[in-house]
Amino acid sequence: MKTLHSPQSVQRWAAAQRAEGRSIALVPTMGALHEGHLALISAAKKKADTVIVSIFVNPTQFGPNEDYARYPRTLDDDIRRCRELGADVLFAPAADDMYAASFSTWVNETVLSDALCGLRRPGHFKGVCTVVLKLFLICQPQVAVFGQKDAQQALVIRRMVRDLNVPVKVILHPTVREQDGLALSSRNRYLTESERRQAPVLYQALKQVAQLKKQGHSPAQIRRKLIRHIQTAPDARIDYVMLVDEETMAPVTKAAAGTKLLIAVAVFFGKTRLIDNVRIVW
Amino acid sequence: MKTLHSPQSVQRWAAAQRAEGRSIALVPTMGALHEGHLALISAAKKKADTVIVSIFVNPTQFGPNEDYARYPRTLDDDIRRCRELGADVLFAPAADDMYAASFSTWVNETVLSDALCGLRRPGHFKGVCTVVLKLFLICQPQVAVFGQKDAQQALVIRRMVRDLNVPVKVILHPTVREQDGLALSSRNRYLTESERRQAPVLYQALKQVAQLKKQGHSPAQIRRKLIRHIQTAPDARIDYVMLVDEETMAPVTKAAAGTKLLIAVAVFFGKTRLIDNVRIVW
């Protein structure tokens, strides 16, 4: 496995692969790799001849009061794990190599970004879209694999790909969970022991959605039940609990049959913000 | 020459060319082709194995009170001229094929766009960047040829290409002019006979810049002289006359030696807005 740092060297490598008829799958990450990321890399291996894993803690998707500085960085471990899984290139650029001092071009998805995490984290999805498009243009993949855990990110990126005619197929991989249901996340390591014990409440709540629908509850009723369930965890501070239409991100209180709903939650435990989601066709 | 209308068909064609090792040059136009465009196509022929000419009057780069509806459309003539010049593909999409009803992703260059035409035409360069990136991703060129007449557009596109790591080389072709110096433009046909006689005043003024510099005039003095010269045309209504630093688009009144200056003018004759420019190293 090659570890490359400059965008130019990766772009050259990718162009050579493509010229020789080899397909490329990209797994964009912020590093601090866990079993969820590793599942994405394994999935990518099955989709293309070669796999690039990018590791870049992207400053432009963090707000001024967020955890950019303290976001976990475990590059040596990450390199070892990518090598073990058979990735071909690990792309780990420096922030300066991705953003020139006079950088001034942004990619902005303006509808799906304007809900859920986008409301709570202004500018977050502008940073995500910009860096993901850059990674696509540097790495030239035919396929890119993202995790379903970041559901809104996935929908925003798919919209960007559609709107800008990006020739990349976006594949979503199911969320990987701990035994007790907690979605894997690099931020789980921030949790205290007590917070970690309470954190599975997100998925415990979300798991009930299908059953609640079957029992005849409306989206608005389900939302109230999820909120009440999550509030049983003493340290849970709800950021949002939303049922939205996947096509528009508009909140749904009553759904027409066949509507694709995303049920998404964001909950703070102390300073740590966890997100999770399930999807359901109404 | 193939005439293709759907982005998907062009993207497939381009992918097949690339897979077979053939290079692609793109000439993006809004049609109503004149000798200036034809010079771009001839230049493109020398730069790559195959040439795509796109013809798309892009609605998103026109303001609400601009000439989108009346912009000249001469597709049959354009097709004939592209065929005669040996273009391989003419790509003429419908607006609906480029912008889905739920289109929501924009590319926004935020520094160089915020001057000259960008101030006078809010949203113009957002529309330009978005459509040009789409055309790049659809047509997959290694090389794209633009005219120097649209100097700010060229600088904004080069910045976008740099910032987003777009693997396309942007080539600028010198402005093609009428015998009397008027820069060729699809909008020249809007001019009345009297306006057409006065229009060469733009280039007559711009041509003096090198001589004025030699005589020791400052950028600020040159600007005043250009304004006075253009105002000798009775129907000329100046939109702007600016000397700016090409790297930043900041107005320059005194220049350090070696500064790359763009001297750009926009002048109305009746409802018709003409632009022209020269470049000089101070």
For residues B37 and B161, membership in a common domain is answered with yes
Q: Are residues A104 and A167 in the same domain?
A: yes
Q: Closest Cα of chain A to B141: distance in Å?
A: 13
Does residue B152 lie in a domain region? yes
Instruction: Read off the pTM.
Output: 0.96
Name the one residue in this structure whose structure tokens are 């003419």. Answer: B90
The one-letter amino acid at A146: F
User: Residue A241: enclosing H or E segment and its boundaries?
Assistant: strand A236-245
**Chain B residues within 8 angstroms (CB to CB) of chain A:** 7, 11, 15, 18-19, 21, 100, 102-112, 129-130, 133-134, 137-138, 140, 159-160, 162-167, 247-248
- Whole-number percent of chain B with pLDDT over 70: 100
Tell me, yes or no, whether A30 lies in a domain.
Answer: yes
Note whether A108 contacts B110, CB cutoff 8 Å: no
Chain A residues in contact with B130 (beta carbon < 8 A): 164
Whole-angstrom distance, CA of residue A31 vs CA of residue A224: 35
Count how many residues are written for chain B: 282
Instruction: Report the DSSP pairing between strands A236-245 and B236-245.
Output: unpaired
What residue in B sits closest to A132 (Cα-Cα)?
Answer: B164
pLDDT tier for residue A79 given thresholds of 50, 70 and 90: very high
What residues of chain B lie within 8 A of the CB of A166, using their CB? 137
| pLDDT tier, A25 (very low <50, low <70, confident <90, very high otherwise) | very high
pLDDT in the model for residue A138: 98
Closest of B203, B273, B201 to residue B240, by C-alpha: B273
Tell me the nearest-neighbour CA distance from A136 into chain B, angstroms.
Answer: 9
Rounded to an integer, what distance in angstroms lies between the CA atom of residue A58 and that of residue A127? 8
B146 with B242, same domain? no
Using one digit for the tens of pLDDT, what is the confidence trace for A209-232?
999 999 999 999 999 999 999 999
Are the C-beta atoms of B170 and B144 separated by less than 8 Å? yes
**pLDDT grade for B9, boundaries at 50, 70 and 90:** very high
- For residue B29, give both structure tokens: 């136009």
Residue with tokens 């810049």: B209
Question: How many domains would you assign to chain B?
Answer: 2
| Nearest-CB residue to A165 (from B11, B106, B159) | B11
Mean pLDDT of chain B: 97
Average pLDDT over residues A55-62: 98
Is there a domain that residue A71 lies in?
Answer: yes
Please report whether residue A85 resides in a domain.
yes
The number of residues in chain A equals 282
My answer on whether A266 and A227 are in the same domain is yes
Q: Residues B124-145: what's their mean pLDDT?
A: 98
**Probe site for chain A from B12, B113, B153, B164 (most A CB atoms < 10 A):** B164
Does residue A180 lie within any of the structural domains? no
Contact B102 A109 (CB under 8 A): no
User: What is the structure's pLDDT at B202?
Assistant: 98
**Quick one: B145 exposed, middle or buried, by C-beta within 10 A (0-12, 13-18, 19+)?**
buried
Based on the fold, state whether residues A163 and A195 are members of the same structural domain.
no
Record: contact A133-B15, CB cut-off 8 A: no
Query: Which residue of chain A comes nearest to B160, CA vs CA?
Result: A105
Distance between B197 CA and the closest CA of chain A, angstroms: 40
- A108 chain-B contacts, CB cut-off 8 A: 105-108
CB within 8 Å of B215: residues ≥ 6 apart = none
| Distance, CA of A168 to CA of A171 (rounded, Å) | 9
Whether residue A61 sits in one domain with residue A190: no
8 Å CB contact of A138 and B106: no
- In this prediction, residue B85 has a pLDDT band, given cuts at 50, 70 and 90, of very high
Same domain assignment for residues B59 and B131: yes
The CATH number linked to A71 is: 3.40.50.620
Number of Cβ within 10 Å of residue A201's Cβ equals 23
Q: What is the pLDDT of residues A195-205, one digit of tens each?
A: 999 999 999 99
Q: Last residue of some domain: A127, A146, A173?
A: A173
- Is there a contact between A111 and B133 if contact means CB atoms under 8 Å apart? no
Average pLDDT of the residues of chain A: 97
Arithmetic mean of pLDDT, B210-220: 97
Averaged pLDDT, B199-218:
97
- My answer on whether B153 and B229 are in the same domain is no
Asked if B165 and A137 come within 8 Å (Cβ–Cβ), the reply is: yes
Residue of A11, A102, A164 with shortest CB distance to B134 = A164
Judge if A169 and A190 occupy the same domain. Answer: no
Mutate to test the interface with A, among B163, B166, B247, B249 (most CBs of A within 10 A): B163
* Mean pLDDT value of segment B236-261: 95
Residue B243 lies in a domain: yes
pLDDT at B179: 97
Q: Which residue of A has its CA nearest to B162?
A: A103
Q: Which pLDDT band holds residue A128 (cuts at 50, 70, 90)?
A: very high
Which one is catalytic: A5, A34, A37, A217?
Answer: A37
Look at residue A179 and tell me if it is in a domain: no
Model pLDDT, residue A208:
97
Instruction: Please check whether residue A227 lies inside any domain of the structure.
Output: yes
Question: What are the residue numbers of the active site of B?
Answer: 37
Cβ–Cβ of A165/B108 closer than 8 Å? no
Domain that holds residue A226: 186-277
Contact A247 B102 (CB under 8 A): yes
Average pLDDT on B119-130 reads 96
| Reduced 3-state DSSP string for B157-180 | HHHHHHHCCCCCEEEEECCCECCC
pLDDT at position A174, please?
98
Which residue, of B145, B173, B201, is where some domain finishes?
Answer: B173
Give the model's pLDDT for residue B239. Answer: 97
